């Protein structure tokens, strides 16, 4: 490894575990996140080292913004409960000059077309679910159902909203945006995952891993790092369930994109348009079988995007900040990964206490979005500076397009 390569990340060495390579130059690494990284690094099945991205911050068991390569085991909590969460973005033939002066109606049409927020289960399309899903959702669910039934046959307790969540956004930091790139071309971008069923799968196997470990669970640096060992039934079942949830998440994003396009076409606010060739649909909470440094391993990316050579990815900023379409540089030191966003600077509760609606309105000036107490926890100041995050990982990705939001729909 050259001096130049070493200078791009902070090497954190703990005599009790493998190293941590953290791309955090110029960005804050909180003590709680550092401790979690070191806890993971002490596990006996880590392949090489743990990689931390510049958006790294505390999470359940393992940090958000970490890349964990393992051999012979998997940690369900390191994947988390938002299995398959990720991004999708499509470039359109529209330009800024095609947009109306007021974007409010366009935001409202998107909100009508894509259920968002918490599911009511009572047919309220504007709140995340409906009792009679549209035909496209039913068609996609028919393809997913056989594999899901096979999972349920082995684990009957795995249950949750399924078809009614296909094509829905969810809550928290999930969003839909219209953005403009450096040439003022309009992009559609969205962020969501496997919704309620992914959450159910994640929680079930996190607890199952703890049960399987039994008395030795107390020997772990953190009980939430309970793992499943390869060769056991539950390891295979978990990997199968996660891969299914990841497929659910990818299809969920695609269905929402289709609904958004129809909403824009039918809004009466825009001229006819097409989607261009530039489109990305990538996970950032998932597992993947890969080969690194000559050895097959299972890579867990919790809040990280694959950035193999020429891989396209999406790194969004917060509601009022820039976002990026990027191309991976294939850096082996990060296990060919990059950040999945800006990363939180503080918890949601702290953000609600610290910022006001007026603060949020100033921070999101020029963006057609909600400006009320319900989204204060997502205000831009609750996140790290996206420019600093991008600078810290300039050896992991190159910027293809820089986007700025003009419409933002939050769950």
Active-site residues, by number, are 340
Q: What length does the chain have?
A: 411
The span from the CA of 340 to the CA of 374, in Å, is: 24
Residues 334 and 301: beta-carbon distance below 8 Å: no
The span from the CA of 407 to the CA of 411, in Å, is: 14
Beta bridge partners of 229: 73
Neighbour tally for 280: CB within 10 Å: 19
Two tokens at 63? 């940090």
Sheet order of strands, 50-57 included? 10-12, 20-22, 50-57, 64-70, 295-302, 285-292
DSSP, collapsed to helix, strand or coil, labels residue 263 as helix
The span from the CA of 374 to the CA of 59, in Å, is: 22
Would strands 295-302 and 304-306 be described as parallel, antiparallel, or unpaired?
A: unpaired
> What are 148-155's contacts with CB under 8 Å, separation 24+?
148/197, 148/244, 150/240, 151/201, 151/237, 151/240, 151/241, 151/244, 154/237, 155/204, 155/237, 155/241
* DSSP assignments along 299-327, one per residue: EEEESEEE--TT-EEEE---TTSEEEEEE
Residues 76 and 209: beta-carbon distance below 8 Å: yes
Two tokens at 73? 């085991």
DSSP 8-state secondary structure symbol assigned to residue 409: E
Helix H or strand E segment including 140: helix 135-154
């Amino acid at each position: 490894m050259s001096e130049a390569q070493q200078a791009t990340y902070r090497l954190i060495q703990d005599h009790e575990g493998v190293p941590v390579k953290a791309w955090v130059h110029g960005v804050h690494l909180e003590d709680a996140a550092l401790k979690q990284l070191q806890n993971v690094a002490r596990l006996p099945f880590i392949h090489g080292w743990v990689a931390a991205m510049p958006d790294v911050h505390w999470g359940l068991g393992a940090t958000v913004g970490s890349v964990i390569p393992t051999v012979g085991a998997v940690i369900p909590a390191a994947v988390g409960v938002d299995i398959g969460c990720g991004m999708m973005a499509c470039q359109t033939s529209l330009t800024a000059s095609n947009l109306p002066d007021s974007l409010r109606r366009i935001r409202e049409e998107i909100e009508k077309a894509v259920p968002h927020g918490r599911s009511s289960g009572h047919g309220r399309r504007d709140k995340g679910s409906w009792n009679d899903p549209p035909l496209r959702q039913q068609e996609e669910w028919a393809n997913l159902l056989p594999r899901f039934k096979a999972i349920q046959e082995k684990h009957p307790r795995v249950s949750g909203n399924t078809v009614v969540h296909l094509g829905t956004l969810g809550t928290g930091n999930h969003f839909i945006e219209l953005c403009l790139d450096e040439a003022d071309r309009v992009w559609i971008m969205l962020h969501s995952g496997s919704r309620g069923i992914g959450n159910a799968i994640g929680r079930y196997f996190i607890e199952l891993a703890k049960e399987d470990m039994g008395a030795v669970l107390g020997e772990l640096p953190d009980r939430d790092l309970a793992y499943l060992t390869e060769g056991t039934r539950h390891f295979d079942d978990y990997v199968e369930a996660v891969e299914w949830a990841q497929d659910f998440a990818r299809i969920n994003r695609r269905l929402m994109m289709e609904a958004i396009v129809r909403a824009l076409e039918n809004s009466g606010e825009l001229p006819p348009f097409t989607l261009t060739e530039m489109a990305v649909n990538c996970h950032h909470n998932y597992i993947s079988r890969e080969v690194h440094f000559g050895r097959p391993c299972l890579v867990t990316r919790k809040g990280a995007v694959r950035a193999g050579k020429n891989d396209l990815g999406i790194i969004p900023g917060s509601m009022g900040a820039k976002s990026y379409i990027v191309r991976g540089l294939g850096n082996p030191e990060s296990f060919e990964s990059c950040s999945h966003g800006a990363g939180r600077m503080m918890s949601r509760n702290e953000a609600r206490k610290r910022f006001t609606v007026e603060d949020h309105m100033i921070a999101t000036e020029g963006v057609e979005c909600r400006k009320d107490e319900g989204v204060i926890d997502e205000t831009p100041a609750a996140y790290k500076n996206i420019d600093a995050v991008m600078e810290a990982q300039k050896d992991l990705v190159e910027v293809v397009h820089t986007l700025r939001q003009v419409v933002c729909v939050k769950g």
